[in-house]
Structure 1
């Protein structure tokens, strides 16, 4: 069995909103100056990986127990082996031991053990004193199979507090202190699931640079790197996901701009590996659709761009026209909302593509939030009877949806109305659920069923 060396670090926290994402972004930027860095994000999030990808200048892949099941180690190791990268960073979600299961089998701690990755704990110390030591000792002792390799103290309020915390940690524990960060004025605004994504590309890069320059003097990158190199070697096992190739190249136009950018990197990589040429277009800026065999409109925040999306009437009408001509269109969440007659948000209404004859409204609280399991209503569909494991986080719901027809039944989750998901019309399929297609079943069979490569 093949063995590989993979210097790696796992950034986690005692609880969510401790600053681990901001620190992960800064570390990714710093490390990518010296190493070819590959990043991973635990969980179904599609926004944090966008920032990690920009900071590292390399893809970021999701590690999620619900999507990957017992393949999570194989998936992780094979991504490392195939990447030709020299350093690896995993960002956790929530707290280190947080989980829906009592035994913590899908927690960050479990993932750190499976991937044999040293863990750095980020702690928001803004309201902590000497009690921090009890917290840290509890974290270390709770599961001794997790290699807690150091702590980063975030949101320090004063020089006096910093001095007292460092003295207490050094006196009562053996944990290395890998960073002491004062309360920062620079942060990334949180909205819905993870970090906001509506900034223009150059603004995102500027923010990453500002965050990094603001934090790097407070982080012990030398010690963090040393810990990463202490990670044991990994065994590369057989990875049984088939490689599928299309008979000829297929061109798919993918909506990508500030309004639509929620895509799992794995989905896009799968499309390219099977022989798809991706042509990106902007529903905000582009007047014309690119010439393509199909359209893919991912999630995002179209409700924040109602006026500008409505003004681009030419592109909206082209999308409607293509749908009526039978061009295959697949959409998710924000993409589904964009295909309805209109979106109403905060008292404003914007006309959308009118592919579906109903209107979108948004509630203040999420309508659907969490993992979903979808099964095709028609057992003879291109998916046969295969179930889809996906994720949803949406505030949208529909009015005047009497014409709604669905492709999926909901076995878990909410979807469009609690019972179904995947609105269909002509050759359009649009979900509220985001599909993570790591086995390359969904998109390959969707393309084949539409005979795009014949």
Structure 2
């Protein structure tokens, strides 16, 4: 059964144009009027969804034609449409960047595109850029264009006059208060800022003064998208039934797709949480997951987490599985050198050290091939690992169909670690094997 629901994909000509701010402000604007808003993030990003979740008051899932797959994306959007008045999807990078791109997602699913353009240093060129985004690919669904970081009302009028067709949906003025703070991996976490919601409200107030923000339910209906019901899916086999999976979850270990937790529970696992940063010992469990995050920002505290380390070491020595990805892997080594040159003694469950870099060390889609199946995901990190361990050769990177050697996987008994971030729904069977052990 098809379900009609207004939906908008917020895109831009490049990163850094303000699309996260606008997408979150749009979601917040409508959520605080009582509309039911669901937000999604195109691509594998962990950080933008935190802001979108704060804005919408709902969990935020990722949709990506390669990592999550088209069927998965369609199913999540259809489920959201059944219970929502508006769906906001934030794009990734520039509209046509990547393979597949945000434009591919919009065209495949019929999502109208709102282009957010940083117009702070342009006038007539704004029209050319907007025209190019709209017409570069024939048949691209189009909602209109929003000018961001505009200097004045006069500037806004120049930008509107520069458009050759296409809907001008308003201008958001330049204001430092509208900027969301960033660090090396992207936006700061919304939970770290006590005024995060008031920041979004400030931008939402500004957006409310534009034609885009003034749209009511009737006006939004022109962007209604018919979301098809997915084909019935077989229930997941209870491969983790009766097992408890402990998940590290705090400011140092916070890169967790909500959908990944859903997969663990659908496989029958009981999910419990603990905080290594608070030196909480590992709860009673059959397996542990150390997700990515920011251990480099908390290296001193993690070096003192004696109770957590003792329980984790006992867990590993007992042969119980651990899956550690990216930031979750970093403190498992003997040392971590931060970007300021300080070296911290860490947990020493794996030989070697991790060194932070000033520049990006790896970025891109990846997949992990295991006996039980192939997990899709990505890599994104600023550190390098130096270890005497021989990695397990079981990863393949994917970029535009090319095949090359991907991130190393380190294995010590039932402990497996890699810079690779996994999307569990891409292979629930392979996911289960991570928490049953490498021999299962």
Cα offset, 1:192, TM superposition: 3.8
Separation in 1, partners of 2:136, 2:217: 25
Which residue of 2 is the match for residue 56 of structure 1?
56
Decide whether aligned partners of structure 1 residues 168 and 397 sit closer, same or farther in structure 2, where only a CA change above 3 A counts.
closer
1:103 maps to what in 2? Answer: none
- The match for 2:38 is 38
CA deviation profile, 1:140-197 (whole Å, cap 9, x unmatched): 222341222121110112333123223443xx42413244333433322333443223
Tell me what 2:341 maps to: 347
Q: How does 1:197-236 map to 2 (within 5 A)?
A: 197=189, 200=192, 202=194, 204-205=196-197, 207-213=199-205, 215-218=207-210, 220-223=212-215, 226=218, 228-230=220-222, 231-236=224-229
Q: What corresponds to 2:147 in structure 1?
A: 153
Q: Does 1:410 align with 2:402?
A: no
What is residue 398 of structure 1 aligned with on the other side?
A: 385
1:309-328 maps to which residues of 2 (within 5 A)?
309-328=302-321
**Secondary structure of 1:236 counterpart:** coil
Deviation of the 1:244 alpha carbon: 2.8
Alpha carbons 1:306, 1:343 under 8 Å: kept: yes
User: Structure 2: which 5+ runs fail to align?
Assistant: none
> What is residue 422 of structure 2 aligned with on the other side?
435
Find the aligned partners of 2:299 and 2:225 in 1 and give their Cα distance: 51
> Please, which moves more after superposition, 277-286 or 191-200?
191-200
**Structure 2 matches for 1:82-161, cutoff 5 A?**
84-100=83-99, 106-161=100-155
Q: 1:256 aligns with which of 235, 249, 255?
A: 249
> In angstroms, what is the RMSD of aligned CA positions?
2.8
1:2-41 equivalences under 5 Å are 2-33=1-32, 34-41=34-41
**Structure-1 separation of matches of 2:240 and 2:289:** 20
The TM-score with structure 2 as length reference comes to: 0.89
Cα-to-partner distance string for 1:5-34 (whole Å, 9 max, x where unaligned): 222111111222110001111112222222
After TM superposition, the structure 1 stretch with the greater mean CA deviation from structure 2, 439-448 or 197-206, is: 197-206
Matched, 1:243 2:230: no
Tell me, in whole angstroms, the C-alpha distance in 2 between the residues paired with 1:13 and 1:332: 30
Matches of 2:136 and 2:438, distance apart in 1: 53
Distance 1:369 1:140, change over 3 A: closer
Q: Which moved more, 1:213-222 or 1:351-360?
A: 213-222
Any stretches of 5+ residues in structure 1 without a counterpart? 101-105
Q: Secondary structure at the match of 2:424?
A: coil
> 2:64–2:73: 8 Å Cα contact kept in structure 1?
no
SS of the residue aligned with 1:296? strand
- Aligned to 2:134, the other structure's residue is in SS state helix
Give per-residue Cα distances to partners, 1:340-361, cap 9 Å, x unaligned.
1121112112222211121111
In the alignment, which residue of structure 2 is the partner of 1:66?
66
1:188 aligns with 2:176: no
CA contact (8 A) 1:340 1:359 kept: yes
1:310 positional shift: 1.7
Measured at CA, do residues 279 and 200 of structure 1 come closer, stay the same or move farther in structure 2, by a change above 3 Å?
Answer: farther
**Number of equivalences:** 432
Partner of 1:164: helix, strand, or coil?
A: helix
Give the conservation status (yes or no) of the 8 Å contact 1:43–1:93: yes
Structure 1 residue 201: Cα displacement: 6.7
Q: Distance in 1 between matches of 2:197 and 2:393?
A: 39
